[in-house]
Structure 1
Amino acid sequence: MKVIVIGCTHAGTAAVVNIKDKYPESEVVIYEKNDNVSFLSCGIALNVADVVKDTQKLFYNSPENLQTLGIKTNMQHEVLNIDFENKSIIVKNLLTSETFEDSYDKLVLTLGSWPIVPNFEGGNLDNIVLCKNYDHAKTITSKCSDAKNVVIIGAGYIGVELAEAFEIQGKNTTLIDAEDRIMAKYLDKEFTDIAEKEFKEKGVNLVLGQKVQKFEGNDSKVSKVVTDKDEFEADLVILCIGFAPSTKLIQGKLDTLPNGAIIIDEYMQTSEKDVFAAGDCCVVKFNPANDTRYIPLATNAVRMGTLIGKNLVKPTLKYMGTQGTSGIKIYSQCIASTGMTEEVAKNTTNLNIDSVIATDNYRPEFMPTYEEATLKLVFDKDSRKVLGGQIVSKIDLTQFANTLSVVIQNEMTIEELAMTDFFFQPHFNKPWSLLNIAALKAL
């Protein structure tokens, strides 16, 4: 059995390792445009902040290591075309410009995603960079030392983490977003208010509710970012507007969402026989809303890639879907969320949405130290099912979001969560868990 894998970041790496483990006699061939695999872009901000000093540490696998498993790793090779009917592909060696044909028994598409780059006037000026792969990371860290005024466009997780990192490095940092709040997709206002306060206290310039119109520059380098309301000095601009699936290769050949995300079944099978897909190029089942959405996350990617290895020959293990669970640390605040926020739930579903917020010290007041924690539950008033949750505290209680992820996946109700058994020990918590307290309040 010959398996060709196109693209090899998180989903691709997980897929090839699991395929070779389950089918050691199979021939596994990777074609990857970059010269590396498994780069963790979520660590770029940590690299900028000098928490992770060596960019190379952000890899968890390598082409050389995959080769020791018997996997053929063709780096800097771009697949130009796929003939699904004849199970063949056309490949270009980017180093030699040679093109050749290869064939497969099974095809794995782990094409990933790419940053959204609007066609801004002045967008081709120097020092306007993306934040996605290893090359971007090296560019950002090399340009950071000479930059005085840094502007980040897009206040999702990556943009927010970069804003903190540049501020830590002493840069005049501006964070711009068209939304009225930072991280609006992941957190409700009660939580973004806390995060925004942290940034304002550190001197980060939050420019919210403004749309970037153009860039201006001197000597071909960016010097100014112009929005619909204001303008800001900039000698380094990072675009973090969002991601879109990199699926031009299969456009019109496989079933996709309008944005190009490949539609797969619960066994990672595409609309074409013997063709599987995983990771940021795909849709995922979003359990809280019981629908399919485009949610590019590394955690989704490694799970889906692993499932390809399990289901390559016959359907064996189903994808359980995702809650889109995520966490972030902003200065002293540890924040995590799972499922739908109240705002997202009200805007994207027809459910009867309600929510409750509980604030309490995470452990008894007789302990030498204790910190306040705030937890929010989002639920359906009719079915009583828990649909989402968010937590913030200066102590790391983010694992509560993982617990709530299981609660949502298993369709538990507020009543069930209120009476769920959690341990008590004064070092760690109170007799009633914060999850119990919030659910009881909802009752």
Structure 2
Amino acid sequence: MKVAIIGCTHAGIFSARGILETDPNAEITVFEKNDTVSFLSCGIALWVGDHVSDPEKMFYDSVEAMQHDGIEMKMKHEVTKVDLDDKTITYENLNNNQETTDQFDKIVVTTGSKPVMPPIPGIEGKNIYLCKNWDDAKAIKEASKDAKSAIVIGAGYIGAEIAEQFSVNGIKTTLIDGLDRVLAKNFDQDITDEVELEYQKHDVTLALGQMVKSFESHDGGVTVNTDKGSYEAEIVVLGIGFLPRTDLFTGQVKMIDNGAIIVDKYMQTSVKDVFAAGDSATVFYNPTQQDDYIPLATNAVRQGILVGKNILKPQVAYLGTQSTSAVELYGKAMASSGLNQQLAKSRGIDGIKTVTIEQDYRPDFMLTTTPVRATLVWDEKTRAVLGGSFYSEHDISQTANALSLAIQNKMTIDELALSDFLFQPNFSQPINFLGAVAMAAAKK
């Protein structure tokens, strides 16, 4: 069995290794236009802020290791044409511009995503950086080394983290976003208000609810013009968002409106023997029971594993995703899983209810403790848990994982309220804050 894997970040890595585990005799060829694999791009902001011990450790696999295990790695090879019906791939060796066409039994699309680049005048100018891959990371790290000022476009996770690290390292930072709140799609306003106060304490200029109209690169840096003002800095980092990198497959396979390839629960596309995973594919979003586009490394890893398990025949079904994630800014931890009010509204979901509580994470007789703010979202009719979020100086990240399991398993607020959570004064109150917020929901 000859298998072609197009793209090799998270989904590509786990697809290749999973296929080899399922069929040790498979002839696997990986096509990757870059010269590295498995880069953990979520660590870019941490590296920029000098919180990484060794940047080489931001890679969890290597070309050499994959080749050693019998996977043919065609690095610096760009796929230029694909015929999914005939299973033919045309690719160019970027080292010598030689073009080759080959045929395979099965094709795995793990082409990932690309940064959103709106057609704004000057967006490709000097001193304007993307924040996606290893080359971007090196460029930002080098440019910010001596910079005194920076502008970050986009206040989602990527932009929020980059802006925070710039500010704590003495770079005068401006954070611009078209929405009126930072992390507006990730958390409700009670949390984002707290985050915005932290930015202001660290002298970050928040230019929210503003649309960028143009960029002007000049000797002193870059001027960013919005519909409400102009801002100037030495460097600009774009963190606007991502779209699936699937142009090669347009018209050949079923996609949703943004170009993400629709996959079934076994990672198969609408074309026989063609699979897709990761940022190039849809996910099944459990809170809405609908296909969605949620580019997260966790989704890519699990989908890649499933490609490997199902490459010969459908046997292990996808459990879906809750889009569970977390971020830490200025020593405050934020974590969420499933829907919040903004996400529900943007997806046309009615009939949700929410409740928020705040309690110390462990008993007050301890020498130290700190408050946790917990929010729960549920369906008013079925009482099914649909989402929630947590905010604290305490590490609340694993609570989001527990909530994720509750959503995945279609638990009600009543069941969550009576679930067995530990009590030990070092770690928790007699009623853990996850149980407490569920009790508050059930009572409401």
Same fold (TM over 0.5): yes
Tell me the residue number matched to 1:138.
138
Alignment of 1:139-218 (within 5 A): 139-218=139-218
Runs of 4+ residues deviating >4 angstroms: none
Tell me the residue number matched to 2:242.
243
Q: Once the 2 structures are TM-superposed, how far is the Cα of residue 86 of structure 1 from its aligned partner?
A: 2.2
Alignment of 1:351-430 (within 5 A): 351-430=350-429
**Alignment gaps of 5+ in structure 1:** none
> Is residue 107 of structure 1 aligned with residue 99 of structure 2?
no
Matching residue's letter, 1:184: A
CA distance in 1, matches of 2:24, 2:417: 48
CA distance in 2, matches of 1:94, 1:213: 35
C-alpha spacing 1:3/1:181, structure 2 compared with 1 (3 Å): same
SS of 1:108's equivalent?
strand
Q: Deviations over 1:329-369 (max 9, x none)?
A: 01110110110102221342343111000100000111111
Q: Once the 2 structures are TM-superposed, how far is the Cα of residue 53 of structure 1 from its aligned partner?
A: 4.8
Q: Deviations over 1:267-317 (max 9, x none)?
A: 000011000000000111000011111100000000000000000000010
Tell me the residue number matched to 1:234.
233
Tell me the residue number matched to 1:224.
223
* 8 Å contact kept, 1:325–1:401: yes
Tell me the residue number matched to 2:94.
94
CA distance in 2, matches of 1:347, 1:260: 19
Alignment of 1:3-14 (within 5 A): 3-14=3-14
Q: Once the 2 structures are TM-superposed, how far is the Cα of residue 147 of structure 1 from its aligned partner?
A: 1.8
SS of 1:399's equivalent?
helix
* 8 Å contact kept, 2:173–2:205: yes
SS of 2:287's equivalent?
helix
SS of 2:91's equivalent?
strand
CA distance in 1, matches of 2:240, 2:230: 18
> Is residue 276 of structure 1 aligned with residue 275 of structure 2?
yes
Matching residue's letter, 1:375: A
C-alpha spacing 1:26/1:118, structure 2 compared with 1 (3 Å): same
SS of 1:162's equivalent?
helix
SS of 1:288's equivalent?
coil
Higher mean alpha-carbon deviation, 56-65 vs 280-289, is at 56-65
> Is residue 339 of structure 1 aligned with residue 338 of structure 2?
yes
C-alpha spacing 1:80/1:217, structure 2 compared with 1 (3 Å): closer
Matching residue's letter, 1:201: K
Matching residue's letter, 1:369: T
Q: Once the 2 structures are TM-superposed, how far is the Cα of residue 138 of structure 1 from its aligned partner?
A: 0.6
Q: Once the 2 structures are TM-superposed, how far is the Cα of residue 441 of structure 1 from its aligned partner?
A: 1.2
* 8 Å contact kept, 2:326–2:335: yes
* 8 Å contact kept, 1:289–1:349: no
> Is residue 304 of structure 1 aligned with residue 303 of structure 2?
yes
* 8 Å contact kept, 2:127–2:217: no
Higher mean alpha-carbon deviation, 373-382 vs 194-203, is at 194-203
Alignment identity in percent? 48
SS of 2:108's equivalent?
strand
**Alignment gaps of 5+ in structure 2:** none
CA distance in 2, matches of 1:111, 1:356: 40
CA distance in 1, matches of 2:344, 2:355: 14
* 8 Å contact kept, 2:244–2:281: yes
CA distance in 1, matches of 2:345, 2:144: 40
* 8 Å contact kept, 1:180–1:209: yes
Tell me the residue number matched to 2:80.
80
Matching residue's letter, 2:295: P
* 8 Å contact kept, 2:81–2:89: yes
CA distance in 2, matches of 1:245, 1:346: 23
Q: Once the 2 structures are TM-superposed, how far is the Cα of residue 223 of structure 1 from its aligned partner?
A: 2.5
Q: Deviations over 1:252-271 (max 9, x none)?
A: 11100111100010000001
SS of 1:24's equivalent?
coil
Q: Once the 2 structures are TM-superposed, how far is the Cα of residue 57 of structure 1 from its aligned partner?
A: 2.1
Q: Deviations over 1:133-188 (max 9, x none)?
A: 00000100111123221000000000000011111221011110010101111100
Task: Let me know the Cα RMSD of the aligned residues.
Answer: 1.1
Alignment of 1:425-436 (within 5 A): 425-436=424-435
CA distance in 2, matches of 1:350, 1:37: 38
Alignment of 1:21-100 (within 5 A): 21-100=21-100
Q: Deviations over 1:224-262 (max 9, x none)?
A: 111111111111001110000000110111100111100
* 8 Å contact kept, 1:346–1:353: no
Matching residue's letter, 1:236: I
SS of 1:207's equivalent?
strand
CA distance in 1, matches of 2:192, 2:398: 19
CA distance in 2, matches of 1:412, 1:317: 23
* 8 Å contact kept, 1:187–1:390: yes
Matching residue's letter, 2:131: C
* 8 Å contact kept, 1:215–1:222: no
CA distance in 2, matches of 1:205, 1:357: 29
Q: Deviations over 1:39-71 (max 9, x none)?
A: 111000001000015332211111111011110
How many correspondences in the alignment? 442
SS of 2:19's equivalent?
helix
* 8 Å contact kept, 1:375–1:389: yes
Matching residue's letter, 1:311: N
SS of 1:213's equivalent?
strand
* 8 Å contact kept, 2:39–2:58: yes
C-alpha spacing 1:20/1:204, structure 2 compared with 1 (3 Å): same
CA distance in 2, matches of 1:90, 1:287: 37
CA distance in 2, matches of 1:9, 1:123: 26
CA distance in 2, matches of 1:99, 1:251: 22
- TM-score computed with the length of structure 2 as normaliser: 0.98
* 8 Å contact kept, 1:110–1:279: yes
